[in-house]
């Protein structure tokens, strides 16, 4: 019987990498290696890959740009399925259809080129549309779920492709019904006609405002904690006097306390210790249990 490594190499060739450093892949720029990294290009390849994973009972994880995760320093002993080569975009009138690995920045450029408005609020978010839908990305009063017509996804357990209309889907604050048993494949979005010049100005303003308030140009994974309604996580953390506190080469941002930044040489364990400290201090002072917005991958202690 062929080994899993031989099968993956045979099927994906140059799109298969062994012992890939996830410190290069993720926006936190820390963490250990993935045993295997695979870049599928089609949904059929995803199905074949899941069959291989099931055959060898191997752990796997689906990643877009790796912007909302913290990988442990010991890495991930399994297969990382990267969606970054699944990035087709098409348009019909004001309806855009895009694959899960489409970068939000590329989607916004496509919208500009076709004078379509409605997604400007996603400006400055460094991830993919698949991640944005799974986590219902947005602002206080604008959410990606409001623009969705339909979502096609693979039910990983049954290897069945399902299409759901927006009214059939559940979305809430920073979450959706999709989990590790679903592979989001294709999203249909309903936009409106706009003027290119006006759209460019909207996007420029959104990015400038984010730069002022958030460390978006630094090594970070975005907001670490969800806002515990009716409070804001950043405000609670700031009131605990934690802005600027550091462990190793990682620190709690002085721009926005709900961001942890890696100066470049930080370890995942440094970030995790800061996460634990924040949770502890906020619990002690406000009796609030902060819930992580990022995903922890691998072993932490």
Contact, 134 vs 178, CB < 8 A? yes
Residue 5's Cα: distance from chain center in Å? Answer: 27
Contact, 96 vs 90, CB < 8 A? yes
Catalytic-labelled residue, pool 77, 146, 174, 196: 174
H helix intervals, 26-173: 43-56, 104-113, 129-134
> In angstroms, rounded to a whole number, what is the distance separating the alpha carbons of residues 148 and 182?
17
Catalytic-labelled residue, pool 72, 176, 223, 253: 223
123 noted as active-site residue: no
How many CA atoms, within 13 angstroms, populate the side-chain half-sphere of residue 44? 1
> In angstroms, rounded to a whole number, what is the distance separating the alpha carbons of residues 122 and 207?
9
Q: Which residues contact 132 (CB under 8 A, 6 or more apart)?
A: 104, 122, 125, 144
> In angstroms, rounded to a whole number, what is the distance separating the alpha carbons of residues 256 and 238?
8
> In angstroms, rounded to a whole number, what is the distance separating the alpha carbons of residues 85 and 92?
22
Contact, 34 vs 20, CB < 8 A? yes
Catalytic-labelled residue, pool 45, 186, 188, 293: 293
Tokens 């440094």 sit on residue: 270
174 noted as active-site residue: yes
Omega before residue 249 within 30° of 0, cis: no
Neighbours of 193 (CB within 10 A): 11
> In angstroms, rounded to a whole number, what is the distance separating the alpha carbons of residues 144 and 134?
10
77 noted as active-site residue: no
Catalytically active residues, by annotation = 174, 223, 293
């Amino acid at each position: 019987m062929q080994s899993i490594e031989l099968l993956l190499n045979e099927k994906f060739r140059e799109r298969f990498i062994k012992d890939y450093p996830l410190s290069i892949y993720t926006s936190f720029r820390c963490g250990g290696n993935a045993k295997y990294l695979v870049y599928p290009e089609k949904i059929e390849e995803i199905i074949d890959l899941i069959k291989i994973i099931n055959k060898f009972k191997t752990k796997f994880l689906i990643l877009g740009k790796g912007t909302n995760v913290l990988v442990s320093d010991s890495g991930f002993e399994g297969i990382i399925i990267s969606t970054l080569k699944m990035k087709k975009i098409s348009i019909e009138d004001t309806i855009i259809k895009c694959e899960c690995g489409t970068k939000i920045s590329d989607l916004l450029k496509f919208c500009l080129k076709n004078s379509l408005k409605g997604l400007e609020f996603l400006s400055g978010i460094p991830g993919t549309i698949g991640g944005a839908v799974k986590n219902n990305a947005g602002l206080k009063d604008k959410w990606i779920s409001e623009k969705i017509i339909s979502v096609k996804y693979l039910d990983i357990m049954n290897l069945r492709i399902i299409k759901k209309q927006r009214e059939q889907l559940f979305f809430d604050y920073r979450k959706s019904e999709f989990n590790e048993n679903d592979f989001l494949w294709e999203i249909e979005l309903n936009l409106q006609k706009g003027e290119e010049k006006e759209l460019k100005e909207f996007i420029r303003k959104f990015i400038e405002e984010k730069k002022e308030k958030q460390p978006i140009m630094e090594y970070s994974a975005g907001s670490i904690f969800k806002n515990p309604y009716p409070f804001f996580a950043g405000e609670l953390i700031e009131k605990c006097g934690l802005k600027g506190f550091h462990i190793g080469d990682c620190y709690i941002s002085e721009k926005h306390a709900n961001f942890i930044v890696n100066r470049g040489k930080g370890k995942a364990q440094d970030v995790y210790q800061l996460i634990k400290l924040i949770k502890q201090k906020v619990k002690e002072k406000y009796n609030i249990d902060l819930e992580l917005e990022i995903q922890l991958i691998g072993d932490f202690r």
